[in-house]
Each structure stands twice: as C-alpha cells, then as structure tokens.
Copies of this chain bind each other. A is one copy, B any other.
Amino acid sequence: MSGKEEIESLEKLLSKLDVKDLESVNKILYGIGCSKLEIPKIEAEDLEIQSYKFACPREQTRLPKITRVGLFQNKTPLETWAPIQEQRQALHNLAEKAIEAAAKASVNIFCFQEAWTMPFAFCTREKVPWCEYAENAEKAIEAAAKASVNIFCFQEAWTMPFAFCTREKVPWCEYAENAEKGPTTRFLQNLALKNNMVIISPILERDEDHNDVLWNTAVVIDNHGDYFGKHRKNHIPRVGDFNESTYYMEGNTGHPVFETEFGKIAINICYGRHHPLNWLMFGINGAEIVFNPSATTGELSEPLWGIEARNAAIANSYFTCAINRVGTEIFQNEFSSGNSKPAHKDFGHFYGASYVAAPNGSRTPGLSRINNGLLVCEMDLNLCRQTKDFWGLQMTQRLDLYAKSLTAAADLYFKPQLIKKF
C-alpha cells in the first residue's frame, strides 16, 4: 500500500452526498441514536477530535450509568529506525496531547491503539534494536496523570514497538515485564491513583514464575492505583506478517471481566475480534464495554473492520470500542510475508477508522484513515440491559444446546451432522 495515496475516511467521501441522501445513508450504515456530543473547544495540533453520544431512555428504577471513553489512534511520528529514545519521546508527546485533550472532554476510559509506543515492527522478524524500547512509559503516563482520565487503556503491548511482524526475537523479548510488579505497572499505579483513573495496560508479559515464558497481556490497574488483574490474549494470528505466534502463545486466563467503578470492562486483544466465541464469553461474564485494541492493515482486513466488533456489540448487547493503528510504517531491513511476493519494508497501511458500537447496533463514524485522532464517546451503560430486554438474545441463546454441541465438536472423533443420501 505504501506509495499509494490513501483516502482520508469513508465518512469524508460520503459527506459529498446531499444532506437528505446522507441522512438516509447514515441511518442504514450507522443506525439511529448516535449523535454529536458537545465538548469544549480543544486545541490540539495534529489531532482530529470527534465526539459522539448514544441515546438511552431513562429508567424508573436505575440511575443512568454514564461513561465516557476516549479512543486514540496515532501514526508513529518518526522513521521506524529512529533511536528508541527519540521515537519514544515523540510518541509520548503525542500521547500527552491526546490524553490532555481527552481530559478536557471529560473522558473516563482512555484507550490507545495496539502497541502504541512503538513501530509495528513484528513484521520484520528483527529483534535488534527493538527490544530496547522496554520501559518507555513514563512520559505518557505522566500526561495521563495530568488528564483526570478515569479509565485509561493502553493499546496491546503498549510498552514496546509492535515488532511481532519482524519475527526477530532480539531485542523484542526484552520488552517483556512482570504483569503485577513490573516497572510499567508500578509506574501506572501512581498515575492511576493520582488521577482516579482505571488504566488498561497491554504489555508483553514475562512470566518469571513459569519458565520465563511470554504472554500478550492486558494489565488492569484500578482507579485507586491497585493492581486489579490481567488478561492474556486468547487467539494469536498466523496470517501474513502477523508473526506473533512465534513470540507468545494463546492465553490461559479465560475471559475476565473487570468490575471497575466506571463500568464492567473487558479487553479482546486484536485478532480475538475474529472469534465470536471470544466475544461471547466476555458477554456471558457480564461485560458492559469490551475494548479491542488492534493493529491491522490491508484490503482483505478493512471490509471486515466495521463488521466484527459491531456484530459483537449486537450479539452480546454490550458496547465495543475498536481501535486501530494509523499510518504506514517503513522498516530499515526488508522482510517477506510468506505470500510469494518480494521482500518489502513496510507492513501495509494501518487504516485507523477507530469506532464505538452500541448494543443496539448503532455505531459512531470512524476516525480518519490517515491522521491521528481521538474519538470521545459517551454512553449510558443502562443501554446494555435495555437492549437485552428488547431483543431477548440472551434468553433465546440456548446455551445448554451449544455447550453440548461444542463439547461434541471438540472431541477428536466428532462426526459432523452431515446429511448424505447414501
């Protein structure tokens, strides 16, 4: 995709339609009940801010449960081969601006794109010098601290470049740190406490108690600065440049939902969005908002982007927050993609387009495909139960049937229910 001129956004193109036509198109494509959210005028260079809210009727017996999320997508500001300290500093500067902007917009939960503190270098399989990115969090967190954010969610493996595509192990593995006591978690605890903010910090985890193995893990720190728990990524891609399965394995933490003071949240990391069962279990465990920090590229992926997290919101009657990296990252050394094409130096264009989907299937427009962006979205979590009552999908779900079906299907000697004539 590099070299090709990228369009700015689907919505920008659609906006060329006349007002009446656009209204009809939006109703079908985006649903009803999502409207502009008024926020203070915020000055932030190189950051496009959009803000929306979802409608939700008042109830008689419950107060509204208003939560406001901020989704941040950003380009890497420097070349991928820039010295780590400089790259980190530039990213932190970006993050600080975004978090300050989010704070001015009264955001409660802030979520970065996947692996936001690094180039998405995993495609290259190189390990040098990427691993030196380890422990680069301070600046960004300080910014978050200033921002009175209530729930702060970093992107997947945020403490390092997303280097899995490189298949190189040095220096990437050195980014790994202990989930509960590592320097990043300790650092975030201070900021969480200071800002009354829940922070979700997806890192590369080093499990020192179990043979030093690695995991792709989201750490949750609560708004009192306490370590709250962690979730390990359940589904690891084996697609093209997504070489993550050479770095860590499928998670063993099930589908935890974290009951924060700002809502019951879960994290479905990146490739897990392709798996309806993964989304389902977060719903069964009570999630009201599921974050999906991602890094995805390409014309095979993009038509799926608006479908999967949104379908999960519909099927499970919760909110989903889909955040994708933005921009094209060029690497210094070429690498191949296992697709018979020549080696190349980029991973394709990360098309951004982050969005929030509501339980009733409404969604916000997407952020830009090419620019840094902050999506602020206010939601009343009461809409989850209201939607369950309306559609009845949980009541009609027939879990007992599928528990048996899947148990049978998982058996080595499973015979599909295939009707043949002879």
Residues of A within 8 A of B (CB): 7, 10, 13-14, 16-18, 21, 24-25, 27-32, 220, 222, 226, 228-229, 234-239, 250, 254-259, 264, 271, 274-277, 279-281, 284-286, 299-300, 302-304, 306-308, 310-311, 314-315, 360-363, 390-393, 395-403, 405-407, 409-410, 416-421
Contact = CB atoms under 8 A, between A and B. Distances in A.
Contacts of A234: 398, 401
Contacts of A300: 32, 360-361, 390
A417 to B, nearest CB: 5
Contacts of A391: 239, 274
Contact of A416 (B286, B308, B402, B417): B286
27 contacts: A13-B17, A13-B25, A16-B17, A27-B303, A28-B303, A28-B306, A29-B306, A32-B299, A235-B396, A238-B392, A250-B396, A254-B405, A257-B418, A275-B397, A276-B276, A276-B277, A276-B279, A280-B402, A281-B402, A281-B409, A285-B416, A300-B390, A307-B310, A307-B314, A307-B361, A311-B311, A407-B407
A239 B392 CA distance: 7
- Interface majority SS on A: helix, strand, loop or mixed? mixed
A230 B236 CA distance: 38
B362 A315 contact: no
Max chain B Cβ within 10 angstroms of own Cβ: one of A276, A390, A418, A421: A276
